[in-house]
Chains A and B, each alone.
Chain A
Amino acid sequence: MDFQTHLIWNNFPFLIQGLWLTLSATAVALLIGIIQGGIFCYLKLSNNVFAYRLSSYYITFFRTTPEMILIFWGYFCIPLITQQKISGFWSGSIILGFVTAAYLAEIFRAGIEAIPKGQIEASFSLSIPIIPRWRFIILPQALKLMVPPLVNYFTELIKNTTLLSAIGVAELALQAYLLGGQTYRYLEFLSAIAFIYFVIIFPFTLFSRRFEKINELN
Chain B
Amino acid sequence: MDWTYFTEFDFEIIWRFFPALLSGLWNNIILTSTSFCIGGIFIGTMLAMVSMVKIVIIRWVVIIFTEFWRSTPLLVQAIWIHFAFPVISGLQTTPFQSALIALTLNVSAYCSEIIRAGILSVPKGQYEAAKSLGLPIYVSWIKIILPQALKTVIPPLTGTIISIFKATAILSVLAINDIMRAAQRISSYTFKPLEIYTSAAILAFLIGYLITRFGNFMENKFSKVES
The answer on a CB contact under 8 Å between A77 and B197 is yes
Which A residues are CB-close (under 8 A) to B48?
none
B20 at interface (Cβ–Cβ under 8 A)?
A: no
Which B residues are CB-close (under 8 A) to A66?
165-170, 180, 204, 208
Which A residues are CB-close (under 8 A) to B88?
1, 187
> CB < 8 Å: which of B77, B173, B187, B198 contacts A166?
B173
Which B residues are CB-close (under 8 A) to A77?
5, 193-194, 197-198
- Nearest residue in A to B83 (C-beta to C-beta)? A186
Count of B interface residues, CB-CB < 8 Å:
47
A155 at interface (Cβ–Cβ under 8 A)?
A: yes
Listed stretches B10-18, B68-76, B142-150; interface member? B68-76
Number of A-B contacts (CB under 8 A): 133
Count of A interface residues, CB-CB < 8 Å:
41
A67 at interface (Cβ–Cβ under 8 A)?
A: yes
The answer on a CB contact under 8 Å between B209 and A80 is no
Which B residues are CB-close (under 8 A) to A73?
197-198, 200-201
Return A193 CB to nearest CB of chain B, in Å.
6
- Majority secondary structure of chain A interface residues (helix, strand, loop or mixed): helix
The answer on a CB contact under 8 Å between B67 and A205 is yes
**A109 to B3 CA separation, bound complex (whole angstroms):** 34
The answer on a CB contact under 8 Å between A190 and B84 is yes
The answer on a CB contact under 8 Å between B180 and A69 is yes
Return A157 CB to nearest CB of chain B, in Å.
11
B115 at interface (Cβ–Cβ under 8 A)?
A: no
Return A18 CB to nearest CB of chain B, in Å.
12
Which B residues are CB-close (under 8 A) to A159?
72-74
Tell whether A186 pairs with B67 under 8 Å between CB atoms, given A162-B75, A197-B73.
Answer: no
The answer on a CB contact under 8 Å between A69 and B71 is no
A54 at interface (Cβ–Cβ under 8 A)?
A: no
**A77 to B194 CA separation, bound complex (whole angstroms):** 6
Chain A CB within 10 A, most for which of B73, B75, B173: B73
- Nearest residue in B to A160 (C-beta to C-beta)? B73
B65 at interface (Cβ–Cβ under 8 A)?
A: no
Which B residues are CB-close (under 8 A) to A193?
76
A76 at interface (Cβ–Cβ under 8 A)?
A: yes
Which B residues are CB-close (under 8 A) to A64?
162, 166, 205, 208-209, 211-212
The answer on a CB contact under 8 Å between B71 and A83 is no
The answer on a CB contact under 8 Å between A60 and B212 is yes
**A69 to B203 CA separation, bound complex (whole angstroms):** 10
B87 at interface (Cβ–Cβ under 8 A)?
A: yes
**A191 to B169 CA separation, bound complex (whole angstroms):** 23
Which B residues are CB-close (under 8 A) to A165?
75, 173
Return A51 CB to nearest CB of chain B, in Å.
21
Return A98 CB to nearest CB of chain B, in Å.
12
B2 at interface (Cβ–Cβ under 8 A)?
A: yes
Return A185 CB to nearest CB of chain B, in Å.
8
- Nearest residue in A to B168 (C-beta to C-beta)? A66
Closest 6 CB pairs of A and B: A64-B208, A66-B169, A76-B193, A186-B83, A68-B169, A159-B73
Spell out B's residues near A (CB within 8 Å): 1-3, 5-6, 67-68, 70-77, 79-80, 83-84, 87-88, 162, 165-170, 172-173, 179-180, 183-184, 187, 193-194, 197-198, 200-201, 204-205, 208-209, 211-212
